[in-house]
């Protein structure tokens, strides 16, 4: 009997470039299946080429757009991918980037592979939904986009107010969740994992209650947008927390690993989504005014 085919390995780099509330994407058509989908610009890393340079070069080749890559935002992810009938074991280096030229929705024509149907700027929320056909890619793009946004928000003059406090709290949640994933990957004892998880779960419950009682109503009053999706996220997180609790009681490391991975993904996606809505509101206000409005003054 022939053994299973081993996927070909592929090492590549991609850019996550947001400008004027839009993400830069390319539309590609699979040469074999004919399926079209949107992707962040990027491509294969050449021998002796730094991943950040690949991301910059491939973006220019695929879109005609010159970008400045921020190497400090690098995120590396590994995932399976099928292209042109070939299964690949892909490792992609993602980088946030800013434009090295004035923003315009009119993109230049480029000479590239025939499967490249052209680049476009798409509203960031719509872009993340479009990328969701490939969950691993969508998750990495969202995480890098969050890193880039947080770097900008932290430099805002009003970041000393509740906006900066919210970012600091969220950073602690992200670190704690990532630590749990590392702990289970190292096969640490469930008892130690439970000791790390339970305080995080309790803090999240208290944090969500405070947000729904004070922060979300203030955002609703300022924007006219009811943050219903964020409340739904809280419900999904509560369910994910309960699932981790059950997995700890089950004694199964595989069940625990799956539950913690799901919890981490739901938590990070929610934090990114919440910050995208809430941070512009908080940073538009002087710190004292923002605190007063949150407390209902």
- For 296, phi and psi rounded to 5 degrees? 85, 15
- For the chain, domain boundaries: 8-106+117-136, 162-294
Q: State the pLDDT confidence band at 111, using cuts at 50, 70 and 90.
A: confident
- 5 pLDDT more than 90: no
Q: State the pLDDT confidence band at 176, using cuts at 50, 70 and 90.
A: very high
From the candidate CATH numbers 3.40.640.10, 3.90.79.10, 3.90.1150.10, 2.40.10.220, the one assigned to the domain spanning 8-106+117-136 = 3.90.79.10
Provide the mean pLDDT of the chain. Answer: 93
134-145 pLDDT per residue, tens: 999 999 999 999
Bridge pairing between strands 86-99 and 8-19: parallel
Compute the average pLDDT of residues 182-206: 93
Q: Which overall architecture, per CATH, does domain 162-294 show?
A: Up-down Bundle (1.20)
- 174 pLDDT more than 60: yes
Compute the average pLDDT of residues 59-81: 95
Under 8 Å between Cβ of 39 and 115: no
How far apart CA 258 and CA 253 sit, in angstroms, is 9
Compute the average pLDDT of residues 30-51: 96
How many degrees, rounded to 5, is the angle at CA 245 between CA 241 and CA 251? 145
Helix ranges (H only) for the chain are 51-63, 124-131, 135-153, 162-185, 190-210, 216-223, 228-250, 253-283, 287-294
What is the predicted pLDDT for the residue at 251?
A: 84
What is the predicted pLDDT for the residue at 1?
A: 44
């Amino acid at each position: 009997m022939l053994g299973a085919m081993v996927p070909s390995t592929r090492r590549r780099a991609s850019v996550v470039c947001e400008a004027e509330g839009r993400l830069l994407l390319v539309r590609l058509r699979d040469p074999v299946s004919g399926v079209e989908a949107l992707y962040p610009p990027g491509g294969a890393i050449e021998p002796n080429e730094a991943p950040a340079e690949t991301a910059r070069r491939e973006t220019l080749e695929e879109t005609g757009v010159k970008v400045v890559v921020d190497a400090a935002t690098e995120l590396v992810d590994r995932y399976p991918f099928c292209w042109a009938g070939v299964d690949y074991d892909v490792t992609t280096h993602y980088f946030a980037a800013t434009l090295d030229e004035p923003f315009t929705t009119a993109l230049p024509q480029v000479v590239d592979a025939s499967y490249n149907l052209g680049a476009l700027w798409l509203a960031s929320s719509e872009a993340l939904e479009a990328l969701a056909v490939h969950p691993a890619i969508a998750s990495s793009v969202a995480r890098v986009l969050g890193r880039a946004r947080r770097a900008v928000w932290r430099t805002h003059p009003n970041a000393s107010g509740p906006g900066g406090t919210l970012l600091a709290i969220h950073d602690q949640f992200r670190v704690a969740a990532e630590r749990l994933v590392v702990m289970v990957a190292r096969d640490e004892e469930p008892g130690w994992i439970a000791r790390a998880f339970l305080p995080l779960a309790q803090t999240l419950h208290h944090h969500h209650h405070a947000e729904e009682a004070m922060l979300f109503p203030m955002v609703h009053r300022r924007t006219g947008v009811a943050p219903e999706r964020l409340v739904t996220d809280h419900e999904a997180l509560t369910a994910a927390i309960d699932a981790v609790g059950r997995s700890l009681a089950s004694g199964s490391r595989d069940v625990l690993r799956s539950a913690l991975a799901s919890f981490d993904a739901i938590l990070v996606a929610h934090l990114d989504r919440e910050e995208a809505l809430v941070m512009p509101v908080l940073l538009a206000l002087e710190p004292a005014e923002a605190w007063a409005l949150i407390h209902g003054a």
